[in-house]
Amino acid sequence: MTRFTRLPIEESDEIPRFGGVSFAYALIRPATVGGDGLQEWMTRALFQMFLEFMAAFARKDYETRRARATQGIAKAKAAGVYKGQPRDEQLHARIRACLARGMSVRGTARVLECSTSTVNRCRSQTIAAQKQE
């Protein structure tokens, strides 16, 4: 069900068609062995309804949690309590040193085991600081 929570509503309608239903239907099926076609059809319909209900419930729960987290962060920022994660100055110093030696962004990221986004952010901040001087 956790995958349902992160899917856009449009895509969640397509999941039962991909065979994701078969594993749970197989758990229900032994109870209906020997039944006629109507009983099997009813079991499939009920399971489909249950699956759609759970998908809707999981999505609503996910959206509620996201909204509450966003509200809490905004409230903390307004109070001056939340400032985000502090910058790793040692890592930034090593990034500046690698870039000064002429290493590429990807090469720097690979050597220092950080993301290329971090390297680019440090590079941009360094260039902006040099322009101000």
DSSP code for 8 = -
Torsion of Cα atoms, 58 then 61 then 67 then 71, to 10°: -150
pTM of the model: 0.46
Q: Are residues 55 and 7 in the same domain?
A: yes
Q: Are residues 8 and 69 in the same domain?
A: yes
Domain of 37 in residue numbering reads as 2-79
Instruction: Please enumerate, as own/partner, the contacts of 20-29 that have beta carbons within 8 Å and a separation of 24 or more.
Output: 21/47, 21/48, 21/51, 24/51
Query: For residue 84, is it within any domain?
Result: no
Three-class SS state of 91: helix
Query: For residue 128, is it within any domain?
Result: yes
CA atoms of 41 and 2, how far apart (whole Å): 27
For range 44-49, the mean pLDDT: 87
Residues 66-124 have pLDDT tens digits of 999 999 999 999 998 988 888 899 999 999 999 999 999 999 999 999 999 999 999 99
What's the one-letter identity of residue 26?
A
